[in-house]
Amino acid sequence: MDSAKTYLDHEYVLTNKEFNLFRELIYDKAGIYMADTKKGLISGRLTKRLRHFNLANFGEYYAFVHSDTAGSEMQVLVDLLTTNETYFFREQKHFDFLRELIVKNYKPSHSFKIWSAASSSGEEAYSMAMLLAGELGFLTNWNILATDLNQQVLETAKRGLYPMSAAEKIPNEYLRLFCLKGCDQYSDYFMIEKTLKSKIQFQQINLNGAWHNIGPFDLIVLRNVMIYFDKETRKKLMSRIAKKLTRKGYLFISHSESLTGVSESFKCIQPAIYQLK
């Protein structure tokens, strides 16, 4: 490639061969299956990286991320191709269940541990922490592990700074107790209160990679993740999840997902709510 040539106005076209290369790559790195309909998504999200490195085509970018000079670019690629849609108190029935059936059975002499296994930018973990702090206080022995593959969204989660528009579903009492309104340049933002933050550990974990020194958990929340995995990957994941739960521990998935034909280790309590047999 001519190093003097620039591709700022170049129109990039993702060939089928290149699409298959990136589809295999994200499956290998994250277990995510990209259907044929995702070709446009891959093209749209990676084009900016081709322009950033002044590359001629997607094949050059694929070669670059595997090179010794790529640095952290492979993580950037994974971050770009992993979807992170979330908001505070998503799927209210899960929080109702957590309050009514789990929190009311909590024994102060025991610990209570939750794993938010695809926490994205932190809204899910902070929502559960608000509920637990509101019901149990801070002095009791509960904590949350919040993990994600995407390093960029984890940094957002650790910061705990969100636009005021994100507070729509947070109960007013929790807003008053656990959220601090910003001022000056942050007047349109709120920040999670530091004591609540201290009850959550944020960590990068690949669900299809190694899980070192975590668990067991009383509740694992894994919502809107399995829809991106093929059936074999889902089976393997559920087998590992079952081993990370306490006796009769609970698992929350999304209402668009099911464990039917995936795992026999769980019994369905309510739609999208399972308990270890």
Q: What sign results for the dihedral spanned by CA atoms 195, 118, 111, 127?
A: positive
Nearest CA-CA partner of 88 in 120, 144, 118, 127: 127
| Active-site position among 9, 23, 36, 45 | 45
Tell me if residue 176 is catalytic: no
Question: Domain 92-276 sits in which CATH superfamily?
Answer: Vaccinia Virus protein VP39 (3.40.50.150)
* Averaged pLDDT score across all residues of the chain: 92
| Active-site position among 23, 79, 148, 234 | 148
Residue 1: per-residue pLDDT: 46
Give the global pTM.
Answer: 0.85
Neighbours of 213 (CB within 10 A): 4
Domain 16-81 CATH assignment equals 2.40.30.10: no
Boundaries of every domain in the chain: 16-81, 92-276
Tell me if residue 45 is catalytic: yes
Within this chain, domains 16-81 and 92-276 share the same CATH topology? no
Residue 9: per-residue pLDDT: 67
For the chain, residues with pLDDT lower than 50 are 1
For the chain, state the CA radius of gyration.
Answer: 21
